[in-house]
Amino acid sequence: MNERDQVQVAAHSGATTKTVSQVAKGRPTSLSSRVLVILGARNAGLEDKLPDSAYEGTDLALPGGRQPSSKGGR
């Protein structure tokens, strides 16, 4: 996700561009921040540019019906 995409997601989500950048890079962030960014990305039409790790711990479906990657038990 490039900087322009991050600004669009931030505008649609209310999250800061720093938070969007952290989620887009798969860095650890709070669950509420990830959900906010995911919903903002959906609104901006950029959901497919988020890593699968952004969805971990949420009940939100991955874009395009993809299945979450399995990394063993939790």
CA–CA distance, 20 with 70 (Å, rounded to integer): 24
Of 17 and 70, the one with more pLDDT? 17
The whole-number pLDDT of residue 72 equals 43
Put residue 37 in one of left, alpha, beta given phi > 0 → left and psi -120 to 50 → alpha.
alpha
pLDDT, one tens digit per residue, over 3-56 is 999 999 999 999 999 999 999 999 999 999 999 999 999 999 999 999 999 999
The whole-number pLDDT of residue 43 equals 95
Reported as a pLDDT band with limits 50, 70 and 90, residue 71 is low
The first and second tokens of residue 11, run together, are 């505008």
